[in-house]
Structure 1
């Protein structure tokens, strides 16, 4: 799994069970006691030591011939098949790899240090593209062969990887793809770009440097699944429960419901005071021309979180908690029942068409608009730079 989907205690439990867990590279603070406060330099050095040990012990093996790697994730009712490859950072700078999310400078700086210190890209950027007949043909051919890896997972997802040495065919096929879209991994991609600039300055004569590319998993957009990224809010911004509902009723039709997940775009399910409510806008205006304004996360932010609950910047406001993916409505109910939140909102999931439209328009989505399942695994392929 990606390094950033685990809590600290979970990481310690995983590495205790498996000393070869790749989390010892991507989350090397797990090598220190939970109550320890290692410095950033100590964390980075431990990550490098752990990566070097995995290579020395033969857990990670260097592949000496150029290859693409077909990667399939299957389980829990979904299947997606893509390819692992190096993508040009120059093309990202030129706008051929399109983004939809802002990045936080501190997170980018942290991952940049990790890449530079280890001289390795240790995780996949999750990219999407409009599938072509030729690429689907290559994928179908690849999965007929003997896999390099075929592994199950604790969450019911099977991960299978095939090695493909017909690199010219893949390069030719992707030359037909006009644009590629970041599905998940904006911070990793921006970090790879900054690491490239640092390493390029120190290695000015290296014309074929690996740091000019970023390790990515590229998947046909039609195969991908986005789950809802829900919200829970700590308090009602000084309003009583009755005042809160009365204020909402000025903007929304409110009715009790047993449906905890909205059935369609424009509906919001709300949990507060031990009850679920369905919210629909009183005035249904013409569909906005801006693809960002059409998103359900934008409706929630612009009509409830900001004007009613006083959350103008959800990126920095600690009163809002984001609840993604499989944690679902049970986690929303738990937060409210435990007193950690006063109200929670279950949203209709952003679609891939939404994501592509926002990216093509050069716009930025609200934070935490998409949650992709299943998650790509770290550690299958590492790119030494």
Structure 2
């Protein structure tokens, strides 16, 4: 059973919320970041880029302390306000042909430890430790872990009923994304939601594996240092955003490789022929349409690669993933890329226009070959997580990508 709790959020004053909420700072170009910091004093980016106030770049523990200072200033200036009641926060995102509606809530470290909150990616211990130290210093979660759950009629009924009321926030950002947020604090509704989630067997992390792992590590540190630990302290939970499986959007990551590992084009195609039935599609833009089917762009031409299933052996859920198949049949044995995370010879791209970008990069000589895959499904993610396995890096690009600073969970 999943433990999902309401909390007293720190959130922007109503008249300032469109200016406060920001995308992840990694999504901004250097010029964009400079423009926001220069002309928007309310942006959450001022908190996570605290050195801007002093025209100085800071990092490590010094930055962590300054982040906390900027956060305090936002509270002191009433840019951020604290809710008086424990609440769930219903949040809707809508753009183009994508829409989702889910809950900001506090999820349990104990559930993470007991594998009720399930994972499908590896985490890197030094990153866990660094972010745990960051959380220990700044004392808040501002970026939720994105999780998904099996569609549930009771939960969806409560959500749909709330969506018929006027939201607390309703605004559109400059990237043409519409945002709505409702505060759900009535005791009866809160209890109904908590009870409904206890009937779910699992929650699945979609995005935020390092954030959840770091929150777990922080809880272990705080428990060890607190002789009066009860299990009810705020550090025993972390902020998450939960949406039903049907509302998550998963995109593929394409792969581009800088060289053919010393092989000629003909030698490379002959090596591929051992695992795939190859068809030359010429210069027509070509994308795969089903699992175990790949598109390749090489030397000005597209190829379809159909996996020879009598040659490749399926042994578990991981072996059935197209990203794993490509690694086991091509990237590793033929192109000698063993470290998918750190090898400089491989790069990744996502998005509906990425196959065009991939073609351009190969045509310009920046890469020798590109591979396009179909998106991994939620069922495949669940199968990997349920089996305790992990996917290759850059297997999924998942939406929604959430704003920072809309709700904050104090630790």
Query: Normalization by structure 1: what TM-score?
Result: 0.92
CA–CA distance in structure 2, aligned partners of residues 291 and 154 of structure 1: 41
Q: Which residue of 2 aligns with 1:271?
A: 297
Is 2:227 the partner of 1:204? yes
Matches within 5 A, 1:284-363: 284=310, 288-325=314-351, 328-363=354-389
Deviations 1:28-55 (A, max 9, x none): 566676xx76341232223222222222
Q: Which residue of 2 aligns with 1:223?
A: 247
**Structure 1 gap ranges (5+):** none
Q: Which residue of 1 aligns with 2:73?
A: 53
Paired residue secondary structure (1:195): helix
Note closer, same or farther for the CA distance 1:29–1:294 as it changes in structure 2 (3 Å cut).
farther
Q: Measure how far apart 1:248 and its partner are.
A: 1.7
8 Å contact 2:51–2:63 — kept in the other structure?
A: yes
Note closer, same or farther for the CA distance 1:53–1:268 as it changes in structure 2 (3 Å cut).
same
Match for residue 257 of structure 2 among 213, 220, 233: 233
Is 2:45 the partner of 1:23? yes
Note closer, same or farther for the CA distance 1:106–1:327 as it changes in structure 2 (3 Å cut).
farther
Q: Which residue of 2 aligns with 1:81?
A: 101
Moved more, 103-112 or 229-238: 103-112
Q: Which residue of 2 aligns with 1:129?
A: 149
CA–CA distance in structure 2, aligned partners of residues 18 and 200 of structure 1: 39
Is 2:208 the partner of 1:185? yes
Moved more, 147-156 or 340-349: 147-156
Q: Measure how far apart 1:283 and its partner are.
A: 4.3
Q: Which residue of 2 aligns with 1:150?
A: 170
Note closer, same or farther for the CA distance 1:285–1:240 as it changes in structure 2 (3 Å cut).
closer
Note closer, same or farther for the CA distance 1:334–1:47 as it changes in structure 2 (3 Å cut).
farther
Is 2:217 the partner of 1:194? yes
Deviations 1:192-248 (A, max 9, x none): 111222233333325331111010001101211100111111221112233222322
Q: Which residue of 1 aligns with 2:122?
A: 102
Q: Measure how far apart 1:339 and its partner are.
A: 3.1
Moved more, 335-344 or 5-14: 5-14
Q: How many residue pairs were aligned?
A: 383
Moved more, 9-18 or 350-359: 9-18
Q: Which residue of 1 aligns with 2:12?
A: none
Paired residue secondary structure (1:61): strand
CA–CA distance in structure 1, aligned partners of residues 79 and 29 of structure 2: 25
Paired residue secondary structure (1:378): coil
8 Å contact 1:325–1:373 — kept in the other structure?
A: no
Match for residue 193 of structure 2 among 158, 162, 170: 170
8 Å contact 2:257–2:368 — kept in the other structure?
A: yes
Q: Which residue of 2 aligns with 1:11?
A: 33
8 Å contact 1:268–1:279 — kept in the other structure?
A: yes
8 Å contact 1:253–1:282 — kept in the other structure?
A: yes
CA–CA distance in structure 1, aligned partners of residues 66 and 368 of structure 2: 41
8 Å contact 1:260–1:269 — kept in the other structure?
A: yes
Moved more, 21-30 or 127-136: 21-30
Moved more, 225-234 or 109-118: 109-118
Q: Measure how far apart 1:13 and its partner are.
A: 4.0
Q: Which residue of 1 aligns with 2:24?
A: 2
Deviations 1:266-289 (A, max 9, x none): 111112223222111244568825
CA–CA distance in structure 1, aligned partners of residues 70 and 217 of structure 2: 24
Note closer, same or farther for the CA distance 1:246–1:379 as it changes in structure 2 (3 Å cut).
same
Q: Measure how far apart 1:327 and its partner are.
A: 6.0
8 Å contact 2:275–2:312 — kept in the other structure?
A: no
Paired residue secondary structure (1:25): helix
RMSD: 2.2
